[in-house]
Amino acid sequence: MVRKIIITGILLFVIFNAMLYLLPIKKRFVYTDVEKSERFLYAGRKFSVITAGSSLIGNFTFETEKRKNYFNLSLPPSGGCTGVKILALTNNIPDTLYLETNYISRGFNNVLIDGLLDKRSYYAKLIFPALQEQNKFFPLIIDKFKSGNTAQASKRKPKDDLFLQLFASTKEEYSKPVNLVKYNKTLLELKKHLEYLSAKGTFIAFFEVPIEHDLVNSPKLVSQRQALKLAFADKKYNWIQPDTTNRYYTGDGKHLLEESFVRFTKYFKTQCNLLKKQGKK
């Protein structure tokens, strides 16, 4: 009995791996930091345009995605720094990197990075793709049978009491300036990785995702912006100017609702084109 159980388990595992190799089975949408970074790491090819950031740009898609050379490395809880470090440590050098600055202060998720780059685990997941988080069995099956784009931003504002609760907690989060000692340390390490990418020829542009109007000049964002501008004053770093003409709406104070998100995406692309026209890229 024991032998039969083990053989059955292993046989099914081998069959599933073979299916992942042979058939184009892939989840349409990946959400978690591990899934996203694995998808990037095991894609087996180079991406020329990359956006790195937090959940604020989770739904972001670029026109160039159709040409399959764009990757949205938004890592919801970890934020942009972690994405940049993954790029630098894995020597995945894009032509262009757009870095969202809202949650740079979260620093680096080294647990995620160490787990991802651990050699034994990396090769095991490379040989047996079934071990990758993005190929988890049930979510993969569900993804195949569930239609519709589930990766869209919320269409409408949540119920008032929920919105007020969420907004209150966001307000509290943004009411205090960042811890500058910790933040500057993060920026120093970020600079090291960005310098590396820049030296290899990557065009780097920072951008801030608009949030609820009342919070745009909150102590957290103001202190964060000032330190960031100071640390990356060099001309090789480019900045996409924030949109001051439009008003944006969120579901919780920071995550844009669908309509606002679409408006921001348009604005963002126009600004990217402007940078190109200015001859910067």
Say if CB 239 and CB 205 are below 8 A apart. yes
Say if CB 220 and CB 177 are below 8 A apart. yes
Q: Which of 26, 67, 68, 146 binds other proteins (CB under 8 A)?
A: 146
Backbone angles phi and psi of 50, in degrees to 5: -135, 135
Quick note: the x/- pattern for other proteins over 196-215, rule CB under 8 A, is --------------------
Q: Contacts with other proteins: how many residues (CB under 8 A)? A: 31
Please say which residue, 66 or 120, places its beta carbon nearer to other proteins: 120
Between CA 93 and CA 64 the distance in angstroms is 17
Between CA 129 and CA 133 the distance in angstroms is 9
Binding piece for other proteins, criterion CB under 8 A, among 35-43, 106-114, 158-166, 200-208: 158-166
Say how far residue 277 (Cα) sits from the centre of its chain: 26
Q: Which of 150, 179, 246, 270 binds other proteins (CB under 8 A)?
A: 150
143 counts as binding other proteins under rule CB under 8 A: yes
155 counts as binding other proteins under rule CB under 8 A: no
22 counts as binding other proteins under rule CB under 8 A: no
126 counts as binding other proteins under rule CB under 8 A: no
SS3 label, residue 202: coil
Q: Which of 25, 41, 117, 131 binds other proteins (CB under 8 A)?
A: 131
Cβ neighbours of residue 83 closer than 8 Å, sequence gap 6 or more: 37, 50, 52, 53, 73, 74, 75, 99
12 counts as binding other proteins under rule CB under 8 A: yes
Between CA 26 and CA 20 the distance in angstroms is 8
CB of 150 to other proteins, least distance (A): 6
Q: Which of 2, 22, 23, 233 binds other proteins (CB under 8 A)?
A: 2
Between CA 170 and CA 222 the distance in angstroms is 15
Binding residues for other proteins, per CB under 8 A? 1-2, 4-13, 16, 130-131, 135-139, 142-143, 146, 150, 158-159, 161-162, 165-166, 169
